[in-house]
Amino acid sequence: MIRNGHRTAPGAERRGPGSRSAVRVWCDGCYDMVHYGHSNQLRQARAMGDYLIVGVHTDEEIAKHKGPPVFTQEERYKMVQAIKWVDEVVPAAPYVTTLETLDKYNCDFCVHGNDITLTVDGRDTYEEVKEAGRYRECKRTQGVSTTDLVGRMLLVTKAHHSSLQEMSSEYREYADSFGKCPGGRNPWTGVSQFLQTSQKIIQFASGKEPQPGETVIYVAGAFDLFHIGHVDFLEKAHKLADRPYVIAGLHFDQEVNRYKGKNYPIMNLHERTLSVLACRYVSEVVIGAPYPVTAELLGHFKVDLVCHGKTEIVPDRDGADPYQEPKRRGIFRQIDSGSNLTTDLIVQRIIKNRLEYEARNQKKEAKELAFLEAMRQQEVQPTGEDE
């Protein structure tokens, strides 16, 4: 069991996390390739109670019911722990949610999105807790799915970048077929377009400004496919001060593509913004930060420290070092996160197992469609009463 030392539930000090007066909420899942859709589910779940416990399934359980996960269980545990609405993480949570599990962790109810999760034999994994009235539903985040992100990686296109209004015909064709089984299309497994709103940013943002005595730490980058390497780096930056206020500057899609090439970034600026805002080590995000860390930027945010990881620093368009100003001021720090995971390595994992992931998505959709058809048949069956 992992407890997060960085944040406790409001009132936890007064009542204690084990107190039955505090509403304890349970969520569980694979949390593979954690994205802002997962974070939004956990945000909604946390708002339903006082203390949020998240169970994460093992690699073995996921492989049995869905297919191979992209990330290892240790990576997935740490990613969930880094989401700011999570109070506690339970490793190796059972794939089927039972009343026994809820009782074991003193949880009042569990929360899941308004999609379905099925076992290998096509059963609803939340059937028992639903029947007992200890199930709550939250809204699934529109416009994002793991299927879509995998599709972007496998098809080298820039159609998902925020400045491009039209999907290429090749991407549209791929989006229509990825994970699609011959039986049709279900409402959950598929590809859709994310639409950013100011309300969504407000829901994810802390809304807090730097306070006197806090150390303002600025970091900049793509933070694409927000992953454990980013989390390790941000955690190290956060630990540089007793009272840190970490600002993450996110570069425009076109800027990221300039220094990363190919079809990067995989996630566009709006998607990357929510992913980073959900991290417990980040206080604020600059949406579309300039590539060079200028004197104006440092002055505007009253920056005390500027940090960069061990990855290569690509020169600006004019050949200049983007960190020359903070270096001149003596406030530049290079951090070794201790992680060698990069966005490139994630994409390589996907490409290496491409056929397995495509088969996994087709299998998942086939089960979901069969479940939907069974539900439909149940609804249209006669009640058995005499007419």
**Top-confidence residue, 192 or 101:** 101
pLDDT by residue (tens digit) across 203-253?
Answer: 999 989 999 999 999 999 999 999 999 999 999 999 999 999 999 999 999
Return the percentage of the chain with pLDDT > 90, whole number.
59
Give the whole-angstrom CA distance, residue 81 versus residue 19: 22
pLDDT at 80: 98
At CA 358, angle to CA 161 and CA 68, rounded to 5?
105
pLDDT at 73: 96
Q: Which residue has the tokens 């406030």?
A: 331
The arithmetic mean of pLDDT across residues 312-341, rounded, is 96
Question: Would you tell me which CATH number, out of the four given (1.10.10.10, 3.40.50.720, 3.40.50.620, 3.10.28.10), belongs to the domain 198-334?
Answer: 3.40.50.620
Query: Do 198-334 and 24-137 fall under one CATH topology?
Result: yes
pLDDT at 10: 38
Q: Taking Cα atoms as reference points, which of 251, 257, 259 lies closest to residue 313?
A: 259
The sign of the torsion formed by the CA atoms of 129, 130, 133, 134 equals: positive
Structure tokens at 9: 């539930």
Locate the domains of the chain by residue range.
Answer: 24-137, 198-334
Contact 78, 228 (CB under 8 A): yes
Structure tokens at 38: 């997962």
pLDDT by residue (tens digit) across 113-143?
Answer: 877 776 666 788 899 999 999 999 998 887 7
Long-range pairs for 184-188: beta carbons < 8 A, 24 or more residues apart: 184/369, 185/365, 186/365, 186/368, 186/369, 186/372, 187/115, 188/115, 188/116, 188/140, 188/145, 188/368
State the SS3 of the chain: CEECCCCCCCCHHHHCCCCCCCCEEEEEECCCCCCHHHHHHHHHHHHCCCEEEEEECCHHHHHHHCCCCCCCHHHHHHHHHCECCCCEEEECCCCCCCHHHHHHCCCCEEEEECCCCECCCCCECCHHHHHCCCEEEECCCCCCCHHHHHHHHHCCCCCCCCCCCCCCHHHHHHHHHCCCECCECCCCCCCCCCCCCHHHHHHHCCCCCCCCCCEEEEEEECCCCCCHHHHHHHHHHHCCCCCEEEEEEECCHHHHHHHHCCCCCCCCHHHHHHHHHCECCCCEEEECCCCCCCHHHHHHCCCCEEEECCCCCCCCCCCCCCCHHHHHHCCEEECCCCCCCCHHHHHHHHHHCHHHHHHHHHHHHHHHHHHHHHHHHHHHCCCCCCC
pLDDT at 163: 54
pLDDT at 183: 43
The sign of the torsion formed by the CA atoms of 40, 45, 49, 51 equals: negative
pLDDT at 188: 36
At CA 37, angle to CA 235 and CA 252, rounded to 5?
65
Band of pLDDT at residue 255, cut at 50, 70 and 90: very high
Contact 41, 188 (CB under 8 A): no
pLDDT at 194: 59
Fold of domain 24-137: Rossmann fold (3.40.50)
Residue 172 has pLDDT above 60, yes or no: no
pLDDT at 190: 44
pLDDT at 25: 98
Quote the pTM value.
0.79
Largest CA distance in the chain: 88
